[in-house]
Amino acid sequence: MEQRIKMRPLPLLIVVLLMAAVVPASAYYYCCAEWVNNYSNNPDFENSNLDCNEENAKGFYYQLGGDSSWWGSFIYGDGQALDRHWKDPSKSGSGIDYIYVDKTHFAFFSGHGYSDGSGFAFGTSQDDFKLHYNDALWGNTQMDWVTLDACSVLREDRHTNWYDAFGGLHSMTGFHTECHDVSNRGSNFVHRMVGTWTTQPIITAWFIAAKDTEPSTTYAAALAREGCWSDYVYGHGDQGTPGTSFLYSKYQC
């Protein structure tokens, strides 16, 4: 018969010290991720559920969050991934990005994007099925980099729509074209940034991770402030000072 062992409560000081020990002292930078596979409630994508975004986002989150210079802040999926986590309150009254994605240094989204380049999609209407570029203002709290692993979010002919989302943000990475539902791009991306495979700037690592997981008909893309195109993630190289102009490029996989 299994017995439960009664434990004597630890003194408060010891409890505090043990809790503090959970987060290593070297973890100064924070990442987050959100993903959607179930789009059955979204009228724009109700017949287009996905399979691999959970694994893809977790690959990014746990690989980067496990690095000695980083710590995972949160990861949410399907019905817990909400557009208001990405909205700035100055752009939308429901926006609370300052306590979610913009409270981290690197944010990652894996799910559907809109073919017109206007944003990316969620599986619940709380508060909206779509994060539109007009709702975003990232980096005015803390975010330095964002990756949108979603179709057409950085279309060449529409990338200027995202300029006003740069409120301190260094760069965005995503796709010019449609992309595929794969499970390993997030982890591949991080392996190339933090030295487990190699140590590359963020945008280079994204382009090569896309090349490794997409056919040659796919084009990855990046948008960055002048001075930040060659940023490395914290703990693995230097970062630039954001300028006033923008650089954009697409990359054939």
User: Of 199, 206, 208, 211, which is closest to residue 224 (Cα–Cα)?
Assistant: 206
Share of the chain above pLDDT 90, in %: 87
Q: In 177-224, which ranges are continuous DSSP H helix?
A: 185-194, 202-213
How many DSSP H helices and E strands does the chain contain?
4, 9
Question: Average of pLDDT values for 189-199?
Answer: 97
Share of the chain above pLDDT 70, in %: 89
pTM: 0.90
Question: Average of pLDDT values for 90-98?
Answer: 92
Other Cβ atoms within 10 Å of 9 Cβ, number: 7
* Residue 112 clears pLDDT 60, i.e. is over it: yes
- Please, which residues have CB within 8 angstroms of residue 107's CB and are 6 or more apart in sequence? 31, 32, 33, 34, 86, 101, 138, 143, 145, 146, 147
What is the model's pLDDT at position 15? 34
- 100 touches 74 (CB < 8 A): yes
* Residue 165 clears pLDDT 90, i.e. is over it: yes
What is the model's pLDDT at position 28? 84
What is the model's pLDDT at position 27? 52
- 110 touches 99 (CB < 8 A): no
* Residue 21 clears pLDDT 60, i.e. is over it: no
* Residue 6 clears pLDDT 80, i.e. is over it: no
CA distance 211 to 178: 13
Question: Average of pLDDT values for 195-207?
Answer: 97
CA distance 228 to 202: 10
